[in-house]
Structure 1
Amino acid sequence: MTRRVVITGIGVRAPGGKGVKEFWSTLSGGRTATRRITFFDPSPYRSQVAAEADFDPVVEGLTAAEADRMDRATQFAVVCADEAVQDSGLDLTALDPYRVGVSLGSAVAAATSLEREYLNLSGGGRNWEVDPAGLSPYMFDYMVPSVMPAEVAWAVGAEGPVAMVSNGCTSGLDSVGHAVQLIREGSADTMVAGASDTPITPIVVACFDAIKATTPRNDAPEEASRPFDGSRNGFVLAEGAAMFVLEEYDSAKRRGAPIYAEVTGYATRSNAFHMTGLKPDGREMAEAIRVALNESRADPTAVDYINAHGSGTKQNDRHETAAFKRSLGPHAYATPVSSIKSMVGHSLGAIGSLEIAASVLAIQHDVVPPTANLHISDPECDLDYVPITAREHRVDTVLTVGSGFGGFQSAMVLRDPEEAA
């Protein structure tokens, strides 16, 4: 018998507020957290806006030594993991550490620290020959992405399966999907899983500038992210993290754990087509959705809300609109769809986990968060995208999806555990 997997703890750090309550307040209130970049002078760049998180590692409980050692993305992950464990009420020290694992996702890992160290070694990029005397003693930690889940494992005492998943912008979905599979197959009983990315750094901004993927709407940062709107012109870069405690259902019930939702289905596919291009028919995403629903033993009509990838690029928005129609059929037109990237931006590998958190909270509150800044829909995006204002709506089953450079397409189904049963 396949073991059921549930979410019993959540930790979030995102633009617009600290913790789960402030995150949900931002989303349900339809407030945007995008602003002009403050981490460095953005004036030389095409896109000068981002969704930054207000985060102080020492205030968040890390020691000065830990803050020095860890990249910003790792700091986010460790803080969120601790928050998720506390939220779950689980005493990890009472568990067999070999049955506790970590699965962490990230697209660009320690990009912030790598760029900082390069600038330190090269005189701000002016010198071809770098000075090794200025090398950080933690440079290895920044070079090797697997250090991130290792730090989380050390923090929570996990000695079971520990993995790093880096599938671009679907990393936050895929890392949780990997954790679910480990529990289902019996390789672990408890997993701390999620994703973290802090890509607001000059080299990352320049990379997206080069391919014109990010928005140049710099005069009104709070209105810059416009998924599914006819005037959209690129996504808003962001940072953030979300971590979860995942447990086997029966074990969670026995200890009286708070159960937010059950992960009933997950699938990922690749288009084997283009690094950044998407086919307009949405076939690969539709296939991931079909498999995830089949695994959930759920008919497409069971979906109450779709948490879209909704990046705010014309190519993506039309691609996933077609995927929803292809996979859900007529029910796609009756299902509320929204993109939280309109409020908290696109934090690359982390956003999939933040969207899982938003989906779980939608189930908890029976509220669909809105798509902010959606005033005039693209005629090719003709579904119900919940514009501007959150909507009260019975939410028992959520489909959340992700699309990433490299052709990755992932889908996950989250359900109220009683409905899933």
Structure 2
Amino acid sequence: MSRRVVITGIGVLAPGGAGAKSFWELLMSGRTATRRISFFDPAPFRSQIAAECDFDPAEAGLSRREIRRMDRAAQFAVVSARECAADSGIVFDDVDPARIGVTVGSAVGATTSLEREYLVLSDTGRNWLVDNDYASPHLFDYFVPSAMSAEVAWAVGAEGPVSVVSSGCTSGIDSVGYAYQVLQDGSADVMVAGASDAPISPIAVSCFDAIKATSPRNDDPEHASRPFDRTRDGFVLGEGAAMFVLEEYEHAKARGAHMYAEITGYATRANAYHMTGLKPDGREMAEAIRHALAESRLDPSEVDYVNAHGSGTKQNDRHETAAFKTTLGRHAYEVPVSSIKSMIGHSLGAIGSIEVAACALAIENGAVPPTANLHEKDPECDLDYVPLQAREHRVRSVLTVGSGFGGFQSAMVLRDPREGDR
């Protein structure tokens, strides 16, 4: 019998809310954190808006050496890891370091620092041959995503399984899913897991501009991210991180830890179809959902809330709506479904972990976040998407899903730990 896995600590750094408490307050208020890009002049770009984190690394507790050494995404991950560790109350010195692991998800790694360094080495692109004399001594760390998980491992003293998961926009859910599996099979007792991305840079913005995936609603950034709305026209780029302390149930119980949620099922699939395209029937996402529910031994009618990928692109919202109908049947029309990307944008690899945090907090607080900016219902998206306002709702089990470029489709089920005790 596989071991039970629970979340005992949460750390979040998101647009509009640094820390899990502020993050949850933002979601419950229905406020949006999307605005015109301030990190650089966005005027040359089709989409000039994003959901930026108001983040001061020194105020967040990072030393000058850490700030210089780490890319912004790594800084997010370490700050969030420290928060989740403190929140869990775990004393890592009391745990065998070989039984502590780390897994960090990221879609684009140190994009911000790599672009900055290229501009310096090439003299703002003037020189085809770059001058390595101007290179940062930490440039290698920016090239290898493993540096991010190494930083988190050093922060918590982990000497067990340490890895990076990079599966595009499902990286955040897949990172937590992998940590769940490591704990299940007994390779560790504690995992610090989550994801981080800081992609708001000219190169990332131009990439999404090229395929017209992001919203061009530059005159109204607060209302640009509108998943499931008839007038939606693309996602809004974001940034952020969420990290968790995951523990084997008996280990957490023995130390009297508070348990936010139990992870009871996880599955991931690929569609082997198209880099960015999705089939309208949602078959691959439905397959991931079926397996996650089966692993949870949960009947579809028992799902109390669905945290949608809800990117705000035409094809994604139709695709996952079809997947919910296929897997949940009639219950799909009764269960509340919402997308927090409407408020905090799409932080690529990080968003899956940030959404797991929202799900755990929904169980904890007995409420579900709204889908902001949903004013005009799309006839093809005809479920209960919790428009505009948060809703008090008993949440014992949550289904959260992710969809990523490359054809990745992932699903996870979280439950109230007390339900497992019964």
Q: Do Structure 1 and Structure 2 share a fold, with TM-score over 0.5? A: yes
| Aligned partner letter, 1:355 | E
Instruction: Name the residue aligned to 1:394.
Output: 394
Query: Helix, strand or coil for the counterpart of 1:413?
Result: strand
CA positional deviation for 1:393:
0.8
Instruction: Name the residue aligned to 2:336.
Output: 336
Query: Helix, strand or coil for the counterpart of 1:117?
Result: helix
Alpha-carbon distance in 1 for matches of 2:202, 2:274: 25
- Cα RMSD of the aligned pairs, angstroms, is 0.5
Alpha-carbon distance in 2 for matches of 1:392, 1:126: 57
CA positional deviation for 1:58:
1.1
The question of 1:203 aligning with 2:203 is answered yes
Instruction: Name the residue aligned to 2:74.
Output: 74
Query: Helix, strand or coil for the counterpart of 2:228?
Result: coil
Spell out, residue by residue over 1:371-415, the C-alpha distance to the aligned partner (whole angstroms, 9 max, x if none).
Answer: 000001111000000000001111110000000000000000000
| Aligned partner letter, 2:82 | D
The question of 1:13 aligning with 2:13 is answered yes
Spell out, residue by residue over 1:172-222, the C-alpha distance to the aligned partner (whole angstroms, 9 max, x if none).
Answer: 000000000000000011000000000000000000000000000000110
CA positional deviation for 1:420:
2.8
Alpha-carbon distance in 2 for matches of 1:148, 1:384: 38
Alpha-carbon distance in 2 for matches of 1:388, 1:126: 48
Gaps of 5+ in 2: none
Alpha-carbon distance in 1 for matches of 2:222, 2:336: 23
Alpha-carbon distance in 1 for matches of 2:298, 2:256: 27
CA positional deviation for 1:2:
1.2
Q: 1:172-321 counterparts in 2 under 5 A?
A: 172-321=172-321
Alpha-carbon distance in 1 for matches of 2:87, 2:20: 10
Using the size of structure 1 for normalisation, the TM-score is 0.99
CA positional deviation for 1:124:
1.0
Instruction: Name the residue aligned to 1:158.
Output: 158
Answer yes or no: is the 8 Å Cα contact 1:51–1:236 preserved in 2: yes
Alpha-carbon distance in 2 for matches of 1:126, 1:278: 39
Instruction: Name the residue aligned to 2:125.
Output: 125
Alpha-carbon distance in 2 for matches of 1:69, 1:62: 11
Alpha-carbon distance in 1 for matches of 2:187, 2:303: 30
Instruction: Name the residue aligned to 1:115.
Output: 115
Alpha-carbon distance in 2 for matches of 1:56, 1:264: 36
Count the aligned residue pairs: 421
Query: Helix, strand or coil for the counterpart of 1:181?
Result: helix
| Bigger mean CA offset, 16-25 vs 122-131 | 122-131
Alpha-carbon distance in 2 for matches of 1:122, 1:74: 24
Instruction: Name the residue aligned to 1:145.
Output: 145
Query: Helix, strand or coil for the counterpart of 2:193?
Result: strand
CA positional deviation for 1:18:
1.2
| Aligned partner letter, 1:300 | P
Alpha-carbon distance in 2 for matches of 1:37, 1:217: 13
Answer yes or no: is the 8 Å Cα contact 1:193–1:245 preserved in 2: yes
List 4+ stretches of structure 1 deviating above 2 A: none
Answer yes or no: is the 8 Å Cα contact 1:264–1:420 preserved in 2: no
* Sequence identity (%): 73
Spell out, residue by residue over 1:259-294, the C-alpha distance to the aligned partner (whole angstroms, 9 max, x if none).
Answer: 000000000000010000000000000010000000
Using the size of structure 2 for normalisation, the TM-score is 0.99
Spell out, residue by residue over 1:317-375, the C-alpha distance to the aligned partner (whole angstroms, 9 max, x if none).
Answer: 00000000001011000010000000000000000000000001111111110000000
Alpha-carbon distance in 1 for matches of 2:251, 2:121: 51
The question of 1:413 aligning with 2:410 is answered no
Query: Helix, strand or coil for the counterpart of 1:56?
Result: coil
Q: 1:376-387 counterparts in 2 under 5 A?
A: 376-387=376-387
CA positional deviation for 1:137:
0.5
CA positional deviation for 1:254:
1.4
Alpha-carbon distance in 2 for matches of 1:358, 1:95: 28
CA positional deviation for 1:72:
0.2
Alpha-carbon distance in 1 for matches of 2:137, 2:353: 31
Spell out, residue by residue over 1:88-126, the C-alpha distance to the aligned partner (whole angstroms, 9 max, x if none).
Answer: 000001110000000100000000000000001111112
Query: Helix, strand or coil for the counterpart of 1:9?
Result: strand
| Bigger mean CA offset, 252-261 vs 342-351 | 252-261
CA positional deviation for 1:132:
1.3
The question of 1:135 aligning with 2:132 is answered no
Answer yes or no: is the 8 Å Cα contact 1:225–1:345 preserved in 2: yes
Instruction: Name the residue aligned to 1:84.
Output: 84
